[in-house]
């Protein structure tokens, strides 16, 4: 029993000492992935492409919305002279078009979000390998994302600029 207690105490002392010794070799860095995404050439191109697609779809939606407004104004003007069943039919038609517009809006919104997620996911995947290269060459043990809970870190540990530079260099070479 004494031998077991001695072994347990020795293991506890060793476990307590290891983190202190290991900490001397730990180097921590961080990157701001959102800023890197916005400042890399590929990220800028993706953002421009997505923005152009958004504006095109927004123009389509605006046109359909204007059509509905005109239809509503025409219906309001005709309402006093229309028979109740004709008025109800036109109101139903207007309601159907409005619901169709809302469905189109939701579908386009989802489509754009999926495209944005795919583009950013693709770029972040490439960034991860660049981050690994930087970490290995700089002897960094851990790299954190700046916007996910870091309350303070010295600016010297920020490797975002190097990530942007190396990412652009690698992307230009391909």
> Residues 4-59: pLDDT tens digits?
344 334 334 444 554 554 556 889 999 999 999 999 999 999 999 999 999 999 99
**Is residue 142 assigned to a domain?**
yes
> Residues 59-102: pLDDT tens digits?
999 999 999 999 999 989 998 998 999 889 999 999 999 999 99
**Is residue 155 assigned to a domain?**
yes
CATH of the domain at 157: 3.30.910.20
Question: What is the distance between the alpha carbons of residues 134 and 128, in angstroms, rounded to a whole number?
Answer: 10
Core vs surface per residue 128-150: b (16+ CB within 10 A) or e: eebbeebbeeeebeebeebeeee
Structural domain containing residue 109: 20-172
Identify the band that residue 141 occupies on the pLDDT scale cut at 50, 70 and 90.
Answer: very high
What is the C-alpha end-to-end distance of the chain, expressed in Å?
66
**Is residue 138 assigned to a domain?**
yes
> Residues 91-134: pLDDT tens digits?
999 999 999 999 999 999 999 999 999 999 999 999 999 999 99
- What total of structural domains would you count in the chain? 1
**Is residue 2 assigned to a domain?**
no
**Is residue 4 assigned to a domain?**
no
Predicted local distance difference test score (pLDDT) of residue 25: 81
């Amino acid at each position: 029993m004494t031998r077991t207690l001695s072994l347990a105490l020795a293991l506890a002392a060793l476990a307590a000492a290891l983190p202190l010794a290991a900490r001397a070799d730990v180097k921590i860095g961080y990157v701001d992935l959102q800023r890197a995404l916005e400042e890399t050439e590929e990220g800028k191109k993706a953002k421009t492409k997505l923005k152009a697609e958004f504006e095109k779809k927004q123009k389509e939606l605006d046109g359909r919305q204007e059509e509905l407004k005109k239809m509503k104004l025409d219906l309001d003007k005709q309402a006093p002279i229309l028979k109740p069943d004709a008025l109800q039919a036109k109101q139903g038609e207007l309601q159907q078009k409005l619901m169709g517009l809302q469905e189109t809006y939701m579908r386009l919104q989802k489509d754009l979000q999926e495209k944005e997620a795919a583009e950013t996911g693709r770029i972040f995947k490439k960034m991860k390998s660049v981050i690994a290269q930087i970490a290995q060459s700089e002897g960094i043990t851990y790299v954190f994302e700046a916007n996910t809970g870091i309350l303070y870190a010295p600016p010297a540990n920020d490797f975002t600029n190097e990530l942007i530079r190396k990412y652009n260099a690698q992307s230009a070479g391909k």
